Structure 1
């Protein structure tokens, strides 16, 4: 049974959230469409219910305490979750939805082109996408699942391994015409494009070519999409996951260099929290993904 003392009225939480975000009673009142005195009274009522001071009163200003800042993180996450749930129910009352965190380039280049097939098979289920670089905390963020890049053998308890990453070096046709490459040593004087989150990728690629050492230096980027455009523009040699390289090669934007699809160190996983393991929309999405990568 939920204890009402620990479940403040929504109007109290909205006033508290507005005050924390706006930084002033005036701003919160304007945003919420209330008077300043009403916002102040709601916040005071919240403090009385919790038995804790959340703000220091100084010259008609409310200064949040450290406890208020910590509490606001939880309140803000809870309000976001309620809002997303309400929006999903209104937009799609019959089928449900999946709030999915996904790596940016994976989402745009691999997942998005395939989603129409899922929507056709499951027309009542909406897939809401949010791109994320960092790891996802299911306990504090309103996600039902995430597609992540994972290195190492340890698998998460609730996960589906989609496919291992393999690496293909590519460059534009014009770049290769000006800089012919027939062996790994030919890359020593060229600009290599590195991804920030894959510091060992080029070393793995050179070992996969049978080379002992790799050149140092190059340009570092934080997204594969940026690296692809840089390579197409002739800035240097890109090292791409093979699923991305195949698409650019098929479209004639880039050409492969030496041995393609060298094994990398990581894999792409679909992960989800224990609380969502039996969610009907997620089960359908998980089964569909498994069939796609089979």
Structure 2
């Protein structure tokens, strides 16, 4: 006991027993064994020199001293919480570990991170990218931006936007192959993305069921690789205007058939329900929601998805 104060573990265990009404409840709350709870309570009783609970069979009844002690501790813990919150909000660094689908991270998220950094300099962000979903809570991950996956149990998934998937190519490719009608697709090499939520046969079934797909072309396992290939004139690619937005805005890609697309929900921002109130998660959700809304507004402009010149 330091300075007349019992060990914090004893106080934490005692508070948990008072809150749950049992040793078993406290053990579940603290993720320890019931015997560990019993040991900490006995230690606290030895330090105080008086019993805190009357044990009857498998139940425990707090004594009057226990109730009075719990009330005093509650006031102290409240003061500690207020002080911690105050000091934590004054110039402290918050950490946010984020996982994202690789192509969205490369093509959309990273180019916009200066905006997030400028708005939230108090947050240090660490970004990992990969196809497999992150194990939220493990290794510190708080947010996972997932592509075309179900939301895990105990988590919530925020739909980032509805994406429009349409044929895209470089202006040079369109001019070289004379792409003016959807029927021209049968004569040009296609670029395939194995993970895309919408595949070429689905787009064809929607917009050109009478057209035969070309058998030649290239296949990639990441959208950003396929888009780079399309930008370099290697084929016609079916891809989301969200992920191709930068190349479309720069004129590196065009939509030869206009806005003939398929709408899909592909990307979700996933987090554990218990983490929703964390300030860095709230900050990131607020920021990315605004960025997505700004993208939608820009997409409504005629020049956003450029159609190839006739």
TM-score in terms of structure 1 length: 0.62
User: Could you tell me how far apart the structure 2 residues matched to 1:153 and 1:188 are?
Assistant: 38
What is residue 105 of structure 1 aligned with on the other side?
Answer: 103
Q: Which deviations, in whole Å up to 9, do the C-alpha atoms of 1:93-121 show, x marking residues without a partner?
A: 81311111011221122112222222222
Rounded to whole Å, the distance in 2 between the matches of 1:244 and 1:203 is 20
Distance in 2 between the 1:269 and 1:179 partners?
Answer: 37
Q: Distance in 1 between matches of 2:152 and 2:182?
A: 32
Q: Which residue of 2 aligns with 1:221?
A: 220
8 A contact 1:161–1:269 mirrored in 2 = yes
Cα distance in 2 between the residues matched to 1:188 and 1:266: 28
**1:113-146 deviation per Cα after TM superposition (whole angstroms, max 9, x unaligned):** 2222222222101121101111222254531111
Worse-superposed segment, 199-208 or 170-179? 199-208
Q: Do the aligned residues in 1 keep the contact of 2:226 with 2:237 (CA within 8 Å)? A: yes
Q: Deviations over 1:218-248 (max 9, x none)?
A: 3210112211221122221112211233321
> Which residue of 2 is the match for residue 148 of structure 1?
146
In the other structure, the counterpart of 1:23 is none
| 257-266 or 158-167, which deviates more | 257-266
Q: Distance in 2 between matches of 1:99 and 1:142?
A: 6
SS of equivalent residue, structure 1 residue 158? strand
**Structure 1 residues 226, 156: closer, same or farther in 2, change over 3 A?**
farther
2:130 to 121, 129, 132: 132
- Partners of 2:251 and 2:32 lie apart in 1 by 63
Question: Is the 8 Å Cα contact of residues 166 and 262 (structure 1) preserved in structure 2?
Answer: yes
Equivalence map 1:51-130=2 (5 Å)? 94-130=92-128
Question: What is the rounded CA distance, in whole Å, between the counterparts of 1:151 and 1:216 in structure 2?
Answer: 29
- How much is the aligned-residue C-alpha RMSD, in angstroms? 3.2
What CA distance in whole angstroms lies between the structure 2 residues aligned with 1:110 and 1:145?
16
1:65 is matched with none
Partner of 1:82: none
The two structures have a TM-score, normalised by structure 2, of 0.59
Change (3 A) 1:153 1:188: farther
**Does the 8 Å CA contact 1:182/1:258 hold for their aligned counterparts?**
yes
Paired position in structure 1 for 2:229: 230
Aligned length: 210
Q: Secondary structure at the match of 1:109?
A: helix
